Chain A
Amino acid sequence: MRVDLHIHTSPRSLCSHIDPPDLIQEVKRLGLDGFCLTEHQVIWDPHEVDELARDEGIKIFRGNEITTNQGDILVFGYEEDLQGVVPIKVLHNKVREANGFMIAAHPFRGFKTFGIGQLKMNVDQACKRKVFQYIDSIEVRNGKLNEQENDMASQVAERLGLPGTAGSDAHNLDEVGKWITVFERDVQNEQELMEELRAGRFTIGSAR
Chain B
Amino acid sequence: MVLRFLREKVVEVEPLADGELAVTWKLADDLLEAEIQMKVLPPDLEITEAQARIIRAPHAACASVPDLIEKVEGVRIGPGLRKIVKGLIDGPDGCSTLTAGVLECCNAVILHFTRPGIQAGDGLVLTEEEQIARGRENLKRNPRLVRSCIAFADDSPIMQGLGL
Binding site for B on A (CB under 8 A): 67, 69-72, 84-85, 109-122, 125-126, 128-130, 143-146, 148, 172
Cα A54 to Cα B145 with chains together (Å): 36
Cα A72 to Cα B79 with chains together (Å): 10
Mark out the residues of chain B between 103 and 156 whose CB falls within 8 Å of any chain A CB in the assembled complex: 110, 113-114, 117, 140-145, 147-148
B27 lies within 8 A of chain A by Cβ: no
Contact B79 A67 (CB under 8 A): no
Contact B80 A71 (CB under 8 A): yes
Contact A69 B43 (CB under 8 A): no
- Which of B1-9, B50-58, B60-68, B70-78 is the contact stretch? B70-78
Q: Given A119-B42, A143-B143, does the pair A110, B79 have CB atoms closer than 8 Å?
A: yes
B45 lies within 8 A of chain A by Cβ: yes
Q: How large is the interface on B (under 10, 10 to 19, 20 to 34, 35 or more residues)?
A: 20 to 34
Closest 4 A/B residue pairs (Cβ): A85-B87, A119-B43, A121-B43, A84-B87
Q: Given A67-B83, A129-B44, does the pair A115, B142 have CB atoms closer than 8 Å?
A: yes
Question: Which residues from B are CB-within-8-Å of A121?
Answer: 43-44
Contact B141 A146 (CB under 8 A): yes
B159 lies within 8 A of chain A by Cβ: no
Cα A87 to Cα B44 with chains together (Å): 18
Contact A146 B142 (CB under 8 A): yes
Contact A119 B80 (CB under 8 A): no
Contact B78 A110 (CB under 8 A): yes
Cα A35 to Cα B79 with chains together (Å): 25
